Structure 1
Amino acid sequence: MKRLGLAATLAAVLALLPATARADTTYPDPLPLTGQQIIHDPTVHHLKNGRYVAYSTGGIIGARLSTDMRRWDDAGNAFTEPPGWWYEYNDKADPWAPDLSYRDGRYWLYYAVSSWGTNHSAIGVATSRTGMPGTWTDHGKVFTSEKTDPWNAIDPAIVRADGKLWMSFGSYWTGIRMVELNPKTGKAIPGATVHHLATRPDAPYAVEGPSIVKHGRYYYLFASYDACCQGVNSTYKIRVGRSTKVTGPYVDSTGKPLLEGGGDLLLAGHGRYVGTGGESVFRDKGKDWLAYHYYDAEDNGTPKLGLNRLGWKADGWPSLP
């Protein structure tokens, strides 16, 4: 058989690959930002007072404020001091991965308290009329996990579906789970079923940080896969699957279940933007946005805020234009 040149061989190989595999090799850079960009596990919201707020892991739930979603300023913390019960789960009262939402005339801030490498964890909730830093009233535990549980109660994310309120959560320990909440208290319904949404085939089941949104007739589950929190050595990436029911089953565009390790790759590290993950999705002025952190390879691996427009293809799957 005639021997092909390198370029021709590469072209022949690429022609045999599915289109999605080719598309996954390039990713858009995040929106150019200024000001205080250092952040981890961001949740972003456009408040009714006109300001944008981003809450995050670090401090007593660190806060950033912006008037245009481009320049961000340090705004202290959500809380002036940590609630006492946090010390049951972390000796430094260090909260993680908040989730901000609005309903029934109040802002609701969910967050996790745990320690690295254990599933002795708790998710808490606080409310505020304005959503601004320093205005939050804590209401205690929403849902907990212990070392005997096959899940980890961290990384909460709230979604409403079919008249009910749901919270997805999870990190390692068999992956992403979901539980129904009481809409009046914002806390888990006692004895509610803990649904299983996504996992990896093998231990340590490296998937965490869910975010669920509805588009069209589908619910879309975004999650962070692989290793976080290692600076320029982080391998975090964002994958997505969808389901017609909020409780699943979720599948990727090939039909592979997320409970079997499936998930379309939406965003991975590229160039200076390493370890993209810790994501959340928010809507502003009729447009959807993806918020996440990345580790800046040109700034010693400092974690920074990433923002990208979230688009939707004709077949309903999300894309980053």
Structure 2
Amino acid sequence: MRFGGSRRLSFWQRATVAVAVAVTACAMVAPGSPALAAYPGPGRVTGNVTVHDPSMVRTPSGYLLFSTHNGIETRSSADRVNFTFVGRAFPTPPSWVYSYNSSGDLWAPDVSYQNGLYWLYYSVSSFGSNNSAIGLATSTTGLPGSWTDRGVVVTSTSSSNFNAIDPSLLVDNNGRWWLSFGSFWSGIYMIRLDPSTGKRLASDNTRYHLAHRPPDPHAVEAPQIVYRSGYYYLFTSHDLCCRGTASTYRITVGRSTSPNGPYLDRAGVPLLNGGGTEVLATHGAVVGPGGQSVLRDTDGALLVYHYYDAGAAGRETLGVNLIGWSGGWPAVY
């Protein structure tokens, strides 16, 4: 997806723009540098914002926000500030998911609007296991209960060297469809999709390897790829999630001129060799930001993520920041 266009700020960005201008230069730290308190805070959000692994899409009536658990939790917002819980994408999980998770829980949704439909890719697994699958559903509205499940897209087993969770759809600059995914094990992969079905393209069986962190525990997951000005940018979450205020999650990025790599960070380190330029990390009460997605909106590209709020007993909370670009690399503000 191509980024750019208007830089018009919504009202919560205007309220923090003075702070953002003051800290942006400090936030653009050298590649590989540790997080600084100079990172800007998240934009203002209110209402029901207790989420993991958020994915947001703009609709004719506002925004829909999707997140992990409970059949893919769904929230709506008219203004990208106040969010209301409106139900579950799947009031009853598809029957096939119980082969991968005895509770029928669904994780890490990725939602986008393509060809007149909303496309929902989602994960099924259990914590610490790579007996996993990625499923697909489509809807004409994106609303809870409107989704038609299309079944399995890709799977992994306990004998695989990868983990089929954390899906993310990319429609590249040439209109080709790709699905990136992966968590721990040997890292992040990509497969080619058929745009007519959203499933794997029969003529390309390659599983492209995009990123890996060689030291145990190989902590890289949650890929999201976006296109801008000749480069594909691969955002990932490094380190450990889901530990409240003990979480060490942080968001990193690398880029490539091809959707299937090779990806390098700002210092030229391949992401396959553990590289990744830090975009956002723990600062102040914002602990362990990650599980990110990117949304192009009218005022620019948005980084949408969860973090653990140290000011609210470590509650998982929605974070949203605009993305700025300096020297061809992203930074939040």
Q: How does 1:68-83 map to 2 (within 5 A)?
A: 68-83=79-94
2:328 to 300, 316, 319: 316
Q: 1:248 aligns with which of 261, 264, 281?
A: 261
Q: Which amino acid aligns with 1:283?
A: R
Question: Which 5+ residue runs of structure 1 have no aligned equivalent?
Answer: 1-17
Cα displacement (A) at 1:179: 0.5
Name the counterpart of 1:188.
Answer: 200
Give the equivalent residue in structure 2 for 1:139. 150
> What TM-score do you get using the length of structure 1 for normalisation?
0.91
Higher relative contact order (CA 8 A, sep 6+): 2
Which whole-Å deviations, capped at 9, do the CAs of 1:90-118 have from their partners, x for residues lacking one? 00000100000111110100000001111
Q: Could you say what secondary structure the match of 1:28 adopts?
A: coil
Partner of 1:296: 309
Letter in 2 for 1:194: R
Match of 1:185, SS?
coil
Alignment of 1:155 onto 2:166: yes
Larger of the two Rg values belongs to structure: 1
* Counterparts in 2 of 1:218 and 1:179: CA distance versus 1, 3 Å: same
What is the DSSP-based 3-state SS (H/G/I as helix, E as strand, rest coil) of the residue aligned with 1:298? helix
Q: Does 1:122 align with 2:133?
A: yes
2:72 counterpart letter in structure 1: I
Please tell me whether the aligned partners of residues 324 and 330 of structure 2 are also in contact (alpha carbons under 8 angstroms).
yes
Of stretches 191-200 and 52-61 in structure 1, the one that deviates more from structure 2 is: 191-200
In structure 2, distance between residues paired with 1:317 and 1:244? 13
Residue 89 (str. 1) matches residue 93 (str. 2): no
Please, which of 166, 176, 199 is the counterpart of residue 164 of structure 1? 176
What are the within-5 Å matches in structure 2 for residues 107-118 of structure 1? 107-118=118-129
1:227 aligns with 2:240: yes
Q: Distance in 1 between matches of 2:201 and 2:134?
A: 14
Given that 2:32 and 2:277 are in contact with CA atoms closer than 8 Å, whether structure 1 keeps it comes out as no
Q: Distance in 2 between matches of 1:22 and 1:176?
A: 23
RMSD after superposition: 1.3
1:101 pairs with 112, 121, 131, which one?
Answer: 112
Percent identity over the alignment is: 50
Q: Contact 2:67–2:108 (CA<8 Å) still a contact in 1?
A: yes
Q: Which runs of 4+ in 1 moved over 2 A?
A: 18-24
Relative to structure 2, which stretch is displaced further, 250-259 or 182-191? Answer: 182-191
Change (3 A) 1:24 1:81: same
Give the counterpart letter for 1:28 in structure 2: P
Residue deviations 1:245-272, cap 9 Å, x none? 0000000111110001111000001111
Secondary structure of the corresponding residue to residue 203 of structure 1: coil
Shift of 1:311: 1.0
- Choose the corresponding residue for 2:213, options 174, 196, 200: 200
Q: For the structure 1 residues 33 and 267, does the alpha-carbon distance in structure 2 shift closer, same or farther, using more than 3 Å as the test?
A: same
Alignment correspondent of 2:58: 46
Shift of residue 189, structure 1, vs aligned partner: 2.6
Once the 2 structures are TM-superposed, how far is the Cα of residue 23 of structure 1 from its aligned partner? 8.8
Quote the offset at 1:163 in angstroms: 2.8
The Cα of 1:183 is off from its aligned counterpart by 1.1
Question: Which residue identity does 2:255 align to in structure 1?
Answer: R
Counterpart Cα distance in 1 of 2:39 and 2:105: 33
SS in 2 for 1:278: strand
Relative to structure 1, the CA distance from residue 299 to residue 245 in structure 2 (aligned partners, 3 Å threshold; closer, same or farther) is same
Secondary structure at 1:81 match in 2: coil
How far apart are residue 50 of structure 1 and its match?
2.0
CA distances 1:56-79 after superposition (whole Å, capped 9, x unpaired): 001110011100000011111111
**Alpha-carbon distance in 2 for matches of 1:230, 1:183:** 37
Say whether the 8 Å CA contact 2:170–2:179 is kept in structure 1: yes
Q: Which ranges in structure 2 are unaligned for 5 or more consecutive residues?
A: 1-28
Q: Distance in 1 between matches of 2:200 and 2:221?
A: 20
Q: Note the alpha carbon deviations across 1:169-204, whole angstroms, 9 max, x for none.
A: 000011111001111111123461001101112122
Name the counterpart of 1:4: none
TM-score, normalised to structure 2, is 0.88
Match of 1:3 in 2: none
The one of 180, 188, 211 aligned to 2:224 = 211
Q: Which moved more, 1:19-28 or 1:228-237?
A: 19-28
